[in-house]
């Protein structure tokens, strides 16, 4: 009797492990339109309205936690913000001149003022869920293919770039954040134009890296990093992101000026507390500047 | 299938669905110092500890599968990790039957550590970058710490929900025998 129950337990365990490994292998082997992906799409469609309801119902609790977190963080941020304020004040003075020049240049080349992000047909979305692990930085949003959302479209907030749509069902979608280890955003330093790729590893949500910077000019703390857009003339190499979307600010440079220099970037968008995002559903001029 | 097994099955199913939905819709968005609680390994460990290794493993597999499907993650990854947690917690109960008040907390912490390291290992095996920098270790430590705080309340809730469907608990039986001599007709489970 004892032997029988032990055998049964072991067989059941072996079956469950085998099922898991089988699912893993099958999922990796199939395309986006495969069976398991379709099941995921179906589950997402069923679960997203429930998620949305739960997300709305639990908003007061989230706000309460946010208030505690803000209060604790506020003290530490004051001195940093004072320094940042001084830097930004100088930048604002320079910026006023730049805006005037920009307006004149735009008039000069006959560009439509409204052909910025408005032309990209942004769709507003509510964040209805998020990954619990630090290994996957993803959020679920309440818009999908029915609203024009497709895989590969960028998501932004009022502060800056958030990520890219990596999965879309009819009325919900998954956005992989720029803080995910799989993300890579072609970017440039706003002031100098030096191009590079913004990436991160798991576990460093506020510490992105601006990798492989090239071009002239040194990179200093406080410089803004924006998306580069498509730089190639070939349609094969179109960037997912329109040019000029703020990505983050340079917070430090290790081994500056060397081949191994590490440029640290703090994202503008607060990935920890996303409530609404916009998905840019239309690509204008192949995302070229 | 007996009535007890049926009752336990549907209670575990409801528990799994609610736990995953609450986790992804609410708890994942409540950040404390950049980390958040993860109740899924706690719930799986608690279920294993209360129901045994086989139900624990099956429950862990199902919770992992639902999590992977709802979050559009690599299907099978969480299943493998959570079935290990459920089975391990169940075997602990079957072999040792630990009775200290801190057992749910220790098991919860162990389950969280296994989940975190398990995900790291799986990411590594699947060819993703896993840079073990200080931020990452700090986040793992924070998550384990937060889970240690909530492990006992989570265990209590799971126990309360599963209790009507569980077979006679040897611990309660012993306690009753000790306090009443096992003779009083007034003694209750």
Q: Give the mean model confidence (pLDDT) for residues B15-42.
A: 86
A80-84, A94-98, B64-68, B145-149, range with the lowest pLDDT: A94-98
Angle at A66 between CA B119 and CA A208, to 5 degrees: 50
Q: For position A73, what pLDDT does the model report?
A: 67
Strand locations in chain A, DSSP E? 122-130, 138-141, 154-156, 161-168, 173-177, 184-189, 195-199, 208-211, 224-227, 246-254, 262-267, 276-280
> Per the domain annotation, does B144 fall within a domain?
yes
Q: For position A157, what pLDDT does the model report?
A: 85
Which residues of chain A are within 8 Å of residue B118 when distances are taken between CB atoms? none
| CA dist list (Å): B97 to A133, A163, B114 | 30, 48, 21
Q: Give the mean model confidence (pLDDT) for residues A14-34.
A: 89
Report how far residue A79's alpha carbon sits from residue A57's, in angstroms, rounded to the nearest whole number. 36
Contact A212, A196 (CB under 8 A): yes
> Per the domain annotation, does B45 fall within a domain?
yes
Q: Give the mean model confidence (pLDDT) for residues A1-29.
A: 87
Of B22, B69, B139, the CB nearest to A134: B139
Report how far residue B67's alpha carbon sits from residue B17's, in angstroms, rounded to the nearest whole number. 9
Angle at A133 between CA B53 and CA A9, to 5 degrees: 15
Q: What is the largest CA-CA distance in chain A?
A: 90
Identify the residue with better confidence: A43 or A106. A43
Closest CA to A197 of A208, A184, A206: A184
Whether A19 and B79 lie within 8 Å, measured CB to CB: yes
> Per the domain annotation, does B188 fall within a domain?
no
Q: For position A89, what pLDDT does the model report?
A: 75
- Band of residue A100 on the pLDDT scale cut at 50, 70, 90: low
Whether A20 and B143 lie within 8 Å, measured CB to CB: no
Facing residues of A265 across strands? A208, A250
- Domains of chain A, by residue range, sit at 184-271
For chain A, say whether B130 makes contact (Cβ under 8 Å): yes
Report how far residue A231's alpha carbon sits from residue B159's, in angstroms, rounded to the nearest whole number. 59
Of B70, B120, B136, the CB nearest to A44: B70
Whether A51 and B24 lie within 8 Å, measured CB to CB: yes
Counted residue by residue, chain B has a size of: 189
pLDDT tens-digit map of A125-158: 888 888 877 776 889 999 999 999 999 999 998 8
- Which tokens sit at B135? 């931020």
Q: For position A203, what pLDDT does the model report?
A: 47
Those residues with Cβ within 8 angstroms of residue A12's Cβ, 6 or more apart along the chain or in another chain: B54, B57, B58
Which residues of chain B are within 8 Å of residue A140 when distances are taken between CB atoms? 24, 71
Whether pLDDT at B16 is above 50: yes
Evaluated on CA atoms A93, A94, A99, A105, the torsion sign reads positive
> Per the domain annotation, does B187 fall within a domain?
no
Which residues of chain A are within 8 Å of residue B24 when distances are taken between CB atoms? 51, 129-132, 140
Of B24, B72, B126, the CB nearest to A40: B72
Angle at B161 between CA B159 and CA B165, to 5 degrees: 90
Closest CA to A204 of A276, A159, A265: A265
| CA dist list (Å): A192 to A104, A214, A259, B64 | 21, 10, 18, 47
Report how far residue A208's alpha carbon sits from residue A251's, in angstroms, rounded to the nearest whole number. 10
Q: Give the mean model confidence (pLDDT) for residues B18-42.
A: 85
A29-38, A112-121, A140-149, B133-142, range with the lowest pLDDT: A112-121
Q: Which of residues 31-70 of B touch A (CB under 8 A)?
A: 31-36, 38, 40, 53-54, 57-58, 61, 64-67, 69-70
- What is the DSSP code (8-state) at residue A81? H
The DSSP element (H or E) to which B42 belongs, if any, is: helix B39-51
- Band of residue B40 on the pLDDT scale cut at 50, 70, 90: very high
Q: For position A195, what pLDDT does the model report?
A: 86
- Which tokens sit at A174? 């998954």
Question: Does CATH number 3.30.530.20 belong to domain A184-271?
Answer: no
Dihedral of the CA atoms A244, A248, A249, A253 (nearest 10)?
-110
Closest Cα in chain B to A24: B76
Closest CA to A250 of A201, A196, A203, A289: A196
Dihedral of the CA atoms A75, A81, A82, A83 (nearest 10)?
130
Identify the residue with better confidence: B47 or A212. B47
Of A47, A130, A181, the CB nearest to B129: A181
pLDDT tens-digit map of B69-124: 988 888 999 999 999 999 999 999 888 877 788 899 999 999 999 999 898 888 88
Whether pLDDT at A49 is above 50: yes
- Which tokens sit at A79? 């001195």
B50-54, B76-80, B183-187, range with the lowest pLDDT: B183-187
Whether A140 and B32 lie within 8 Å, measured CB to CB: no
Whether A47 and B21 lie within 8 Å, measured CB to CB: yes
- Band of residue A112 on the pLDDT scale cut at 50, 70, 90: very low
> Per the domain annotation, does B189 fall within a domain?
no
> Per the domain annotation, does B51 fall within a domain?
yes
- Return the top range by mean pLDDT from A193-207, A211-225, B148-162: B148-162
Rg (CA), chain A: 23
Q: Give the mean model confidence (pLDDT) for residues B119-137.
A: 76
- Return the top range by mean pLDDT from A123-132, A231-240, B126-135: A123-132
Structural domain boundaries, residue B40: 3-180
> What CATH code is carried by the domain that includes residue B107?
1.10.1760.20
- Which tokens sit at A178? 């720029």
Identify the residue with better confidence: B45 or A121. B45
Whether A174 and B80 lie within 8 Å, measured CB to CB: no
- Band of residue A194 on the pLDDT scale cut at 50, 70, 90: confident
- What is the DSSP code (8-state) at residue A152? T
Place of tokens 């990093």: A225
Of B28, B57, B132, the CB nearest to A129: B28
- pLDDT exceeding 90 applies to what percent of chain A? 13
Closest Cα in chain A to B90: A9
pLDDT tens-digit map of A254-268: 877 777 778 888 888
Of B22, B80, B131, the CB nearest to A20: B80
Whether B70 and A129 lie within 8 Å, measured CB to CB: yes
> Per the domain annotation, does B65 fall within a domain?
yes
Provide the b/e sequence for A16-44 (b: ≥16 CB within 10 Å): bbebbeebbeebeeeeeeeebbeebbebb
Tell which of A203, A207, A209 to mutate to test the B interface (max B CBs under 10 Å).
Answer: A203
- pLDDT exceeding 70 applies to what percent of chain B? 85
Which residues of chain A are within 8 Å of residue B27 when distances are taken between CB atoms? 132
| CA dist list (Å): A45 to A27, A150, A168, B62, B120 | 19, 15, 10, 19, 29
Of B53, B119, B138, the CB nearest to A135: B119
Tell which of A43, A49, A130 to mutate to test the B interface (max B CBs under 10 Å).
Answer: A130
Q: For position B65, what pLDDT does the model report?
A: 94
A166-175, A231-240, B24-33, B148-157, range with the lowest pLDDT: A231-240
For chain A, say whether B141 makes contact (Cβ under 8 Å): no
- Band of residue B1 on the pLDDT scale cut at 50, 70, 90: low
Contact A132, B23 (CB under 8 A): yes
Report how far residue B174's alpha carbon sits from residue B177's, in angstroms, rounded to the nearest whole number. 5
Crossing angle of helices B77-95 and B39-51, rounded to 10°: 40
Facing residues of A197 across strands? A186, A211
Tell which of A4, A134, A166 to mutate to test the B interface (max B CBs under 10 Å).
Answer: A134
- The number of angstroms, rounded, from the C-alpha of A93 to the middle of its chain's C-alpha atoms is 30
How many pairs of residues across A and B have Cβ atoms under 8 Å apart? 175
B182 Rama sector, left if φ>0, alpha if ψ -120 to 50, beta otherwise:
left
For chain A, say whether B161 makes contact (Cβ under 8 Å): no
- Which tokens sit at B165? 């469907």
Whether pLDDT at A116 is above 70: no
Whether pLDDT at A201 is above 70: no
- Band of residue A110 on the pLDDT scale cut at 50, 70, 90: very low
A95-109, A135-149, A203-217, range with the lowest pLDDT: A95-109
Which residues of chain B are within 8 Å of residue A127 when distances are taken between CB atoms? 29
Identify the residue with better confidence: B10 or A200. B10
Of A43, A204, A273, the CB nearest to B69: A43
């Amino acid at each position: 009797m004892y032997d029988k129950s032990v055998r049964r337990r072991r067989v059941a365990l072996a079956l469950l492990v085998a099922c898991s490994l089988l699912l893993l292998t099958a999922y990796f082997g199939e395309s986006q339109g495969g069976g398991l992906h379709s099941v995921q799409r179906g589950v997402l469609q069923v679960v997203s309205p429930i998620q949305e309801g739960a997300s709305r119902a639990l908003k007061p609790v989230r706000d309460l936690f946010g208030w505690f977190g803000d209060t604790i963080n506020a003290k530490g941020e004051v001195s940093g913000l004072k320094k940042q304020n001084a830097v930004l004040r100088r930048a604002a003075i320079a910026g006023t001149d730049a805006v005037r020049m920009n307006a004149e240049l735009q008039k000069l080349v006959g560009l439509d003022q409204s052909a910025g992000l408005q032309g990209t047909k942004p769709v507003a979305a509510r964040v209805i869920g998020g990954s619990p692990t630090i290994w996957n930085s993803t959020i679920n949003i309440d818009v999908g293919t029915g609203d024009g959302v497709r895989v590969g479209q960028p998501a932004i907030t009022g502060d800056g770039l958030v990520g890219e749509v990596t999965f879309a069902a009819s009325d919900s979608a998954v956005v992989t954040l720029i803080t995910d280890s799989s993300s890579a955003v072609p970017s440039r330093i706003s002031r100098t134009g030096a191009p590079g790729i913004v990436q991160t590893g798991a576990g460093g949500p506020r510490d992105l890296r601006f990798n492989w910077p090239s071009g002239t000019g040194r990179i200093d703390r406080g410089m803004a990093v924006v998306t580069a857009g498509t730089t190639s003339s070939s349609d094969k190499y179109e960037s997912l992101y329109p040019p000029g979307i703020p990505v983050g600010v340079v917070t430090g440079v290790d081994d500056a000026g060397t081949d191994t220099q590490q440029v640290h970037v703090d994202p503008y968008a607060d990935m920890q507390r996303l409530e609404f995002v916009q998905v840019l559903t239309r690509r204008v001029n192949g995302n070229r500047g | 299938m007996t009535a007890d097994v049926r009752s336990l099955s549907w209670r575990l199913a409801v528990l799994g669905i609610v736990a995953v939905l609450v986790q992804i819709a609410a708890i994942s968005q409540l950040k404390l110092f950049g980390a958040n609680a993860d109740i899924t390994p706690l719930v799986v460990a608690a279920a294993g500890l209360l129901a045994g290794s086989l139900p624990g493993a099956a429950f862990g597999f199902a919770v992992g599968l639902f999590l992977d499907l709802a979050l559009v993650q690599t299907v099978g990854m969480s299943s493998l990790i959570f079935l290990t947690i459920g089975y391990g917690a169940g075997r602990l109960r079957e072999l040792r039957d630990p009775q200290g008040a801190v057992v749910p907390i220790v098991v919860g912490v162990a389950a969280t550590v296994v989940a975190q390291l398990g995900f790291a290992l799986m990411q590594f095996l699947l060819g993703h970058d896993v840079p073990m920098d200080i931020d990452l270790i700090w986040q793992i430590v924070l998550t384990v710490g937060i889970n240690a705080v909530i492990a006992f309340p989570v265990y209590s809730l799971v126990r309360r929900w599963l209790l009507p469907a569980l077979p006679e608990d040897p611990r309660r039986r012993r306690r009753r025998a000790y306090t009443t001599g096992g003779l009083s007709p007034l003694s209750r489970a």
